[in-house]
Structure 1
Amino acid sequence: MGKKWWMESIGYQIYPKSFYDSNDDGIGDLNGIYEKLDYLKDLGINLIWICPFYDSPMDDNGYDVRNFFDVSKEFGTMDDAKKLIDKAHQLGIKVILDFVLNHTSDEHPWFIESRSSVDNPYRDYYIWHEGRQQDGQKIEPTNWGSFFGGSCWKYDELTDSYYMKIFSDKMPDLNWKNEKVHEEMIQIAKKWLDQGIDGFRIDAVSHLDRAPYEDVKGSTDRYPLDWNKFSNLPKVHDYLNKLNQEVFSKYDCVTIGEVGGEASIDEGIKYASFDSNELSMVFNFDHNWCNNLHEVTSTKQLKTNVVLLKSVFNKWQKAFKDIGWLPLNWLNHDQPRLMSQYGDHLYPLASGKMLATALHMMRGTPFIYQGEEIGMTNFPFEDVSQFNDISSIHAYRYHLEKEPDDPVKALKKAALSSRDNPRTPMQWSNESYAGFSKEQPWMMVNPNYKKINVVNNLKNQDALWYHYQRLIDLRKNSTYKDLIIYGEYELLDPDDKNLYTYKRFNHQQTLLIINSFSRKKIKYDLSKYDILNKIVSNYQKHTIKNQTIYLKPYESIVFEVKEKL
């Protein structure tokens, strides 16, 4: 295994619209990120992933790209982007950008040309179909559903045909069977890498191929969502192999694909094993939903399935042990806030630190999502009008169709998994609008900002922020650096419903990581080990008697140990 700079990185994901507003228009921007780079440097991270800031009509907050070679006016200019990249590099921070391969905006010049006539040179840049007849009416080519609800086909009157869009109506899918699309994307990647960025997080990378256009069978839904129709299909690997050969392999860059929660281990290995010649790593979402979220209406009712969570982490850790590398993250801009999903509102500090330790001591490259380091939580939605995210609005309508007499329940269920939760403005201080802006932000600020914010965290050495800083420092600067980054991982006690325990070891050292997911006090047997050192803990004191540790609620502790013979 060749060691790469990105294996030794600690990442931080930035959603620019919500990070920091430098010009007081209510919208976060590139200069806002620029102004906060010193804050990120103090935290210790050395890699930032910035969500899209390309020119966009913002139907999906920037993932609907109108021009890959320009910056959306809300975020600044290309000069601002260059200035940000330069300062980040001066501080020792690498920069990766989102690269959207599956679709563009319907306002992109390619699509404007594509829809103008059936014989336009750009027609085949997108997926068009004339539709089919049913009872004398023209209908969609298939009954496939979209991720954002409704059909994945959109009728276009201009040429009396349908285009495919597996996300929103304003995000037509590119046709990757067309080699001209490959060449366009190769040029986009090269241009940004030549601007000095250090790689890409590749959005929706698993969706570049399509199954034969045949209806989904056996569903009562009008437009059933079947991932198998456009996820992790064989041709995706051919396309990525070409991108790697033509671009990625020619730069010292990192590429991280988003393959969602439907990619198998075997597919993950195809994408990102050391010899796959496709991507450096892949994000999967298997660990994001290991609770009863779909059965409840309140975060206070959530219960983590610890056994399932451990098994998910373990299967990916084991599969990539010798043949590849993994990113580590609890959430991103599409999932509920960590503290609301897996934390405990009665023990926010202890559970927050425990969750941080559990993730950051594993093998892989950790990513922190903005606000995670201060314990930000889901937004307390009270009305559907508060949703900004189009998929959340579709989710509300879906739940309302199921139970039309209970709109409150529909709202609560949609709110639990809403993508708006992680997108609320970053909570910098207890000043108005959480110090994010001096004007009304584009999205509502979580009302708990007066308690949960950066300033309050930095004032208290026992705060969550300093725990993250300590974990980062262990990975970057401690005598355990090589072990934490490159050492072996072994899951312990797989069937324990309360504890997530594992070992990290190499030829010189062994670490025992103990994480309690319980409000109860729990005993753990240490008789197999000689305790050499306490590395990090979320409580100042711990209780060990007769070779047993008595764990407090959500206690998390890392020991250097020697195993007894």
Structure 2
Amino acid sequence: MNDQIATTDTTATEWWRTAVIYQVYPRSFADSDGDGIGDLPGITSRLPYLARLGVDAVWLSPFYPSPQADAGYDVSDYRGVDPLFGTLEDCDRLLRDAHALGLRVIVDLVPNHTSDEHAWFRAAVASPPGSPERARYIFRDGQGPDGTLPPNNWKSVFGGRAWSRWPGESQWYLHLFDRRQPDLDWQHPEVRTEFEDVLRFWLDRGVDGFRVDVAHGLIKAPGLPDWERQASMVGDGTDDGVNMGPMWDQDGVHAIYRDWRRVLDAYPGDRMMVAEAWVRPQAHLARYVRPDEMHQAFNFDYLLARWDARMLRRVIDGSLAAAASVGAPTTWVMSNHDTVRHTARLGLSKPGVRPKGIDSKAEQPDEALGLRRARALAFLTLALPGSAYLYQGEELGLPEHTTLDAAYRQDPAFHRTNGAEVGRDGCRVPIPWIADAPSFGFGPGPATWLPQPDGFAHYAVDQQEDAPGSTLELYRAVLRLRREYGLGNGQLRWLDSGPDMLVLDNGPVRVVVNFGFGAAVLPAGRLLIGSVSSEQPEPEIIQGNSAMWLAVPGR
């Protein structure tokens, strides 16, 4: 039986409702000066590549001044550029060049915590307990007769306890992440005023929006009650307890985002915010994108879904229904800088499971199978109504670096767990541009802040440019067709299919995905493009682990 699902407001014109947004991880995208770390001038030099790819906007992970204890997510100054990445003038030039190419720019905002080198925290630890300087953070006296026990039993997302004491200090401060990332107290009016001013600083410079880090974590439950479980930002697709507890998804966060929305609405050009909010169920996520709050929220249920037709259909239906209930678009995301690349996840014996990193001691993905499935999943993702996010390198089919030596690992999660959690370095390796160049063309010399595996040469941009059937050319073609047929602003209708198949129509395009290994009969429709090849030797057959877009008969 066919189902008709209204998926988006087809009268809305805001760009962010249907945009394809490309995540750039600045230190790993392009290095202009040869120090082994990507930078803003390097990104600017590659903007024509992104424009040709066919994306609508670029999201930049943090480039602010930072001691880099957590790759820039420990910010010491929210109104500057770290010299590692360039200058404010370089940022202004990037914005001008991007806008000239028709690309919008979203920047990362990290409001849950600062660096321990932020001027506010330095003032806090230089001031006595009870001082105004300390009130901006969450300082508490310890438990026990001499205060040597932490104020509660909360654990850090990165491992170990979530409380530390500054050397020589009696009080403890909260850090849900690394000890060098003290949590701000968002009940304090000065914190709220400061971040509204930070928003205006970047809006005045011309940014088009903000990705809000840990958007569900700013408010903690009153009294900071004990929580026996491990605090977790990211689930594995099976843990119903992810982001439950007194440190996540408290009702008070929504007043903050209503205030921020008023700031953004005062600027022209449809400025936007997208929430990184790992919350369940979807109805809770929808609260972040009510009409007076954020514009988008990342759909992590989709990222966490396995290579399973029924599961994906349930996630898609639930996501669309929840978003529609508040008049918001749904976002679709397969990978980001915090997760193992989906090319690797889909090549595991349990395809789609989300390990917290892969090293040489773990199961090694089937690289060819993972890529084949990743290409098929892209066909599904980019056909769905709403907005889609791409993580740098996925348009190349880039695999996870699964054999990175422990000596090179920098993720604080790896070090705080003594290696029990492999961490996120494997998905953050600098991407390859030129197969036979030093650092595969990432920079002018051989230096890279994380070593690249030899196999990256096969995936380099110059090896795929204008090469029929390459993953890069496939993405370019699919993005062009998505735009041509208006799929981001369409309506989805499921068609009957077998247990290992998904078949849906979005306007004039029929999407067919075969999740099984065996070939299956293809429904009616003229072939537009296929994930395995642009050619179709058997016009009535779809191969296993592949996808096709067809023209709906009569449309």
What TM-score comes out, normalization by structure 2 length? 0.87
- One-letter amino acid of the structure 2 residue matched with residue 286 of structure 1: D
CA-to-aligned-CA distance 1:456-496 (integer Å, 9 cap, x gap): 111412111111111111233x2x22xx12211234458x5
SS of the aligned residue for 1:70 comes to coil
Find the aligned partners of 1:218 and 1:169 in 2 and give their Cα distance. Answer: 20
Q: 2:299, 2:142 → 1: CA distance?
A: 34
Mapped to 1, the partners of 2:68 and 2:371 lie a distance apart of 36
Gap runs ≥5 in structure 2? 1-8, 232-240, 348-365
- The aligned residue for residue 503 of structure 2 is 501
Question: Per-residue deviation at 1:53?
Answer: 0.2
Q: CA RMSD in A?
A: 2.4
| Cα distance, 1:219 vs structure 2 | 5.7
Q: Aligned in 2, Cα 1:421/1:85: closer, same or farther, shift over 3 Å?
A: same
Matched, 1:365 2:387: yes
Q: 1:395 to 1:374 in 2, by over 3 A?
A: farther
Task: Show structure 1 runs of 5+ residues with no match.
Answer: 292-303, 400-413
Answer yes or no: is 1:266 the counterpart of 2:283: yes
Alignment of 1:237 with 2:254, yes or no, is yes
Matched, 1:474 2:481: yes
Counterpart position of 2:84 = 74
Identify the match of residue 126 of structure 2 among 91, 116, 125: 116
Partner residue of 1:5?
A: 15
How far did 1:214 drift? 5.4
Q: Distance in 1 between matches of 2:229 and 2:175?
A: 21
- Partner of residue 423, structure 1: 428
457 and 349 in structure 1: CA distance in 2 versus 1, 3 angstrom threshold? farther
Does structure 2 retain, via aligned residues, the 8 Å contact 1:146–1:225? Answer: no
- 2:284 aligned partner, one-letter code: E
Paired residue secondary structure (1:279): coil
SS in 1 for 2:216: helix
Count of residues in Structure 1 that have an aligned counterpart in Structure 2: 512
Provide the residue aligned with 1:87 in structure 2: 97
Q: Which residue of 2 aligns with 1:316?
A: 319
- CA contact under 8 A between 2:200 and 2:263: conserved in structure 1? no
Deviates more, 1:250-259 or 1:316-325: 316-325
**Offset at 1:131?**
1.6
Cα 1:278–1:226 change in 2 (3 A) is closer
Distance 2:265 2:107 in 1: 14
- Change in CA separation of 1:227 and 1:154 when aligned onto 2, cut-off 3 Å: farther
47-56 or 1-10: bigger deviation: 1-10
Aligned counterparts, 1:90-489, within 5 A: 90-117=100-127, 118-133=129-144, 138-213=148-223, 216=226, 227-251=244-268, 252-260=270-278, 262-273=279-290, 275=291, 277-291=292-306, 304-321=307-324, 323-343=327-347, 345-347=367-369, 350-381=372-403, 383-395=405-417, 397=419, 399=420, 414-415=421-422, 418-430=423-435, 431-437=437-443, 438-476=445-483, 478=484, 480-481=485-486, 484-489=487-492
For the residues of structure 2 that align with 1:226 and 1:83, how far apart are their CA atoms?
Answer: 39
Mapped contact 1:336–1:419 kept (Cα < 8 A): yes
Check 1:331–1:225 CA distance in 2 against 1; reply closer, same or farther (3 A cut). Answer: closer
Pair 1:446–1:498, CA change in 2 (3 A): farther
Distance in 1 (alpha carbons) for counterparts of 2:214 and 2:336: 13
Q: 1:366 to 1:137 in 2, by over 3 A?
A: closer
Aligned to 1:561: 552
Identify the structure with the greater helix proportion.
Answer: 1
Residues 516-531 of structure 1 aligned to structure 2 (within 5 Å): 516-524=514-522, 526=523, 531=525
Name the CA shift for 1:471/1:396 in 2 (closer, same or farther; >3 Å): farther
Secondary structure, counterpart of 2:78 in structure 1: strand
Corresponding residue number in structure 2 for 1:407: none
Equivalent position amino acid for 1:432 in 2:
P
- 1:540 is aligned to 534
Tell me the distance in 2 between the aligned counterparts of 1:73 and 1:493.
Answer: 56
Distance 2:249 2:413 in 1: 22
Larger displacement relative to structure 2 (535-544 or 262-271): 535-544
TM-aligned CA deviation for residue 312 of structure 1: 1.8
Shift of 1:29: 0.3
Partner residue of 2:37 out of 27, 35, 60:
27
Q: Secondary structure at the match of 1:133?
A: coil
- Residue 53, structure 1, aligned to residue 63, structure 2: yes
Secondary structure of the residue aligned to 1:210 is coil
| Structure 1 length-normalised TM | 0.85
225-234 vs 62-71, which moves further: 225-234
Distance 1:236 1:207 in 2: 8
Tell me, in whole angstroms, the C-alpha distance in 1 between the residues paired with 2:338 and 2:389. Answer: 14
> Larger % of strand: which?
1
Is the 2:214–2:277 Cα contact (8 Å) retained in structure 1? yes
